[in-house]
Structure 1
Amino acid sequence: MQKHLKRAALAALSLTIASEAMADQWNVSLWGKRRAFTEHVEKLAELVSEKTNGEFTLNISYGGLSKNKENLDGISIGAFEMAQFCAGYHRDKNPSITVLELPFLGVTSLEQEIELSMAVYEHPAVVKDLARWDATLLMPSPLPQYNLVGVGDAPKTLADFEGLSVRATGGIGKAMETVGAVPTSMSASEVRQAMDSGIVKAVSFAPHAHMSFGTIENGKWWTTNLNPGTVNCPVVVNTLALESLSDDHRDALLSSVDEALDHYVSHYNGQTMEAWGPALEERGIEQVTFSDTEIASFKEAAAAPAAAAWIEENTKRGLPAQELYDMVTGKIAAAN
């Protein structure tokens, strides 16, 4: 009898050890709080857990693992297995994907932004660029065109941006320089304090971020149609961690990306944008719309010079910059 009990105990212990060996727990570094910008990661975690019966879990942390500007560094040393970051936060670390942040590219929808981003992410030069950080690009965080919320007198023409301090990263910052604004790059979590203290007078964000980070709480005006561009904020995974997954767990992760992105788009186009208009009206925020002539002049002044500078700079880095730019603009032209 005692032998049978020992055998049963050993069998149970072996089963427990085997189960633990099959389990995977990944830490995921995000920032801020759960919002439209992170819905695809939340959905991904849900899908992966469902597909693996809880054997593979994504533990999402909002700021508890790393600062947002250091997420790529954390991935590179294996401090966590998955993270989100924005290319414009550290252009020198990920120059290849900053092609997606050039001003006035002409992307018209989140769906198009996804298709374009995934095509760039799969380019061999981009894969090699991110491999320097032991990072594999998993999926984008598609965002609509950025516009400004500001304090003080509302600009009536583009000339009124002369000398205005603006939080604007990447290509959007370069575009704002062409109309005389003074761009400052800072993370989203720093923006409200900078706005309250007067460090910046206007902030460039997508609608969800204006709501999530409080710029509309003291903002007086919003530009409806400046549309200088957007930022590219991918979700990446540590390459070794990805390769170390079992085939089933890796498939559960990769096969969930499309559904997670579909959920994100549905949430953003629905819940987020439905709340945006009423949020502005409730606070009495003035909506500033520029003439077609001014927008055309803005685009002419900003787009071509920024693209030429980007191509020259990144060709010197050894990237096939012209090829990447032509691929992006060609896909946009074909879609539009």
Structure 2
Amino acid sequence: MTHLMGKAALAALATAFAGEAIAVEWNVSVWGQRRAFTEHIEKIAELVEEKSGGDFTMNVSYGGLSKNTENLDGISIGAFEMAQFCAGYHRDKNRAITVLELPFMGVSSLKEEVAVSKAVYDHPAVQEEMEQWNAKLLMTSPMPQYNIVGTGDPRTTLDDFDGMRVRATGGIGNAFESVGAVPTSMTASETYNAMESGVVDTVAFAQHAHLSFRTIDIADWWTENLNPGTVNCPVVVNIDAYNDLSDENRAILDESVDEAIAYYLENYGELLNRWEEVLAEKGVEKVQISDEVLAEFRETAGKPIHDAWIEEMSAQGLPAQELYDLVLETLEKERM
């Protein structure tokens, strides 16, 4: 009897260990603090834990695992299973998705931003480039058009932009450079001190980042309608970790993406509704750029930069024209 009970106990113990082995815990590398920009990540972590009954969990780390500019490198070596990064941080590592950061592409809503990002992420050339970093594109982090905050007198003409030191990355940085500004791609967490100390005159961000990184706290003005473009910040997963998931957990992760994005859009919409109150509370002047100046800016920083990107990326073997056309065709479909 004792021998039989021993066998039963061992069997129960083996079952318990098997159950533990099934449990999956992912580390997720982001930066800054929890904010509108990371709500889809927080939501997907909540969803996978709930749907898996606790067998699949995610630990979201805000800067504890890696610098934001090194998240793609961390994914490539398996230092963590999931991460967020922005294409402008290392354009040479993610050339194909920089089509989404070209200035004045005409994206006018978060919904359109989600659509064009998904279309580009699904393109074989984009996926192949990401595979070089052992990364699978999971979802985008849609952001509205960037606008700049600054101190001192408002910048309302292209002449005012000449010599302006602006924190701007990717295509937005290229746009400002084309009209004589001096862009710098410092990390978001460095912008407050840079602006306070006068290292930069202005900072280009979406609204949530002006709030999260406190640039709005020291701003005198904000351009309400400059809208030069936005940055593209994917959430990626390590391919090996993704493939190692059970079929059930992989399905849970995949099916939770749309729910997480929907939650993100709803949450960001609430932030945009509060933005006017924030400007009034902090005494920040809303600056309207004239239609004439905007047209001049688009002419200088739109098509010439688009054409240069297509030529450069094509020379590097990417289907640049195809990716560029894909963005425009997706926008057209979204508006039908």
Do both proteins adopt the same fold according to a TM-score greater than 0.5, normalized to the shorter chain?
A: yes
Determine the structure 1 residue equivalent to 2:272.
273
1:216, distance to aligned residue in structure 2 (A) = 0.8
1:118, distance to aligned residue in structure 2 (A) = 0.7
1:49, distance to aligned residue in structure 2 (A) = 0.4
- In structure 2, the CA distance between the partners of 1:127 and 1:156, relative to structure 1 (3 Å rule), is closer
Whole-Å separation in 2 of the counterparts to 1:176 and 1:234? 24
Whole-Å separation in 1 of the counterparts to 2:315 and 2:238? 28
Aligned length: 335
Determine the structure 1 residue equivalent to 2:309.
310
Determine the structure 1 residue equivalent to 2:76.
76
Structure 2: stretches of 5+ with no match in the other structure: none
Alpha-carbon deviations, 1:41-89, whole Å to 9, x = none?
A: 0000000001110000011100000000000000000000000000001
RMSD between superposed Cα atoms in Å: 1.1
Establish whether residue 38 from structure 1 lines up as the match of residue 59 from structure 2: no
Whole-Å separation in 2 of the counterparts to 1:155 and 1:99? 27
Whole-Å separation in 2 of the counterparts to 1:76 and 1:161? 39
1:185-264 aligned within 5 A: 185-264=185-264
TM-score by length of 1: 0.98
1:276, distance to aligned residue in structure 2 (A) = 1.2
Determine the structure 2 residue equivalent to 1:166.
166
Whole-Å separation in 2 of the counterparts to 1:170 and 1:124? 22
Which amino acid counterpart does residue 147 of structure 2 have in structure 1? N
Which amino acid counterpart does residue 186 of structure 2 have in structure 1? M
Determine the structure 1 residue equivalent to 2:26.
26
Which amino acid counterpart does residue 233 of structure 1 have in structure 2? C
- Structure 1: 4+ residue segments shifted above 6 A: none
TM-score by length of 2: 0.98
Whole-Å separation in 2 of the counterparts to 1:156 and 1:45? 43
| Structure 1 residue matching 2:53: 3-state secondary structure | coil
Establish whether residue 53 from structure 1 lines up as the match of residue 53 from structure 2: yes
Whole-Å separation in 1 of the counterparts to 2:85 and 2:43? 18
Determine the structure 1 residue equivalent to 2:284.
285
Which amino acid counterpart does residue 314 of structure 2 have in structure 1? T
Whole-Å separation in 2 of the counterparts to 1:12 and 1:318? 57
Q: Is contact 2:102–2:171 with CA below 8 Å preserved after alignment?
A: yes
Give identity over the alignment, percent.
61
Whole-Å separation in 2 of the counterparts to 1:188 and 1:115? 25
Alpha-carbon deviations, 1:105-154, whole Å to 9, x = none?
A: 11111111111101100100001111110000000000000000111211
1:4, distance to aligned residue in structure 2 (A) = 4.5
1:241, distance to aligned residue in structure 2 (A) = 0.7
| Structure 2 residue matching 1:255: 3-state secondary structure | helix
Which amino acid counterpart does residue 105 of structure 1 have in structure 2? M
| Structure 2 residue matching 1:78: 3-state secondary structure | coil
Structure 1: stretches of 5+ with no match in the other structure: none
Establish whether residue 328 from structure 1 lines up as the match of residue 327 from structure 2: yes
Whole-Å separation in 2 of the counterparts to 1:298 and 1:333? 23
Which amino acid counterpart does residue 303 of structure 2 have in structure 1? A
Whole-Å separation in 1 of the counterparts to 2:259 and 2:149? 32
Which amino acid counterpart does residue 328 of structure 2 have in structure 1? T
1:140-155 aligned within 5 A: 140-155=140-155
Which amino acid counterpart does residue 101 of structure 1 have in structure 2? E
Which amino acid counterpart does residue 137 of structure 1 have in structure 2? L
Whole-Å separation in 2 of the counterparts to 1:131 and 1:156? 43
Q: Is contact 2:115–2:330 with CA below 8 Å preserved after alignment?
A: no
| Structure 1 residue matching 2:302: 3-state secondary structure | helix
| Structure 2 residue matching 1:326: 3-state secondary structure | helix
1:274, distance to aligned residue in structure 2 (A) = 2.2
1:159, distance to aligned residue in structure 2 (A) = 1.8
Which amino acid counterpart does residue 226 of structure 1 have in structure 2? L
1:333, distance to aligned residue in structure 2 (A) = 3.3
Determine the structure 1 residue equivalent to 2:120.
120
| Structure 1 residue matching 2:148: 3-state secondary structure | strand
| Structure 2 residue matching 1:211: 3-state secondary structure | helix
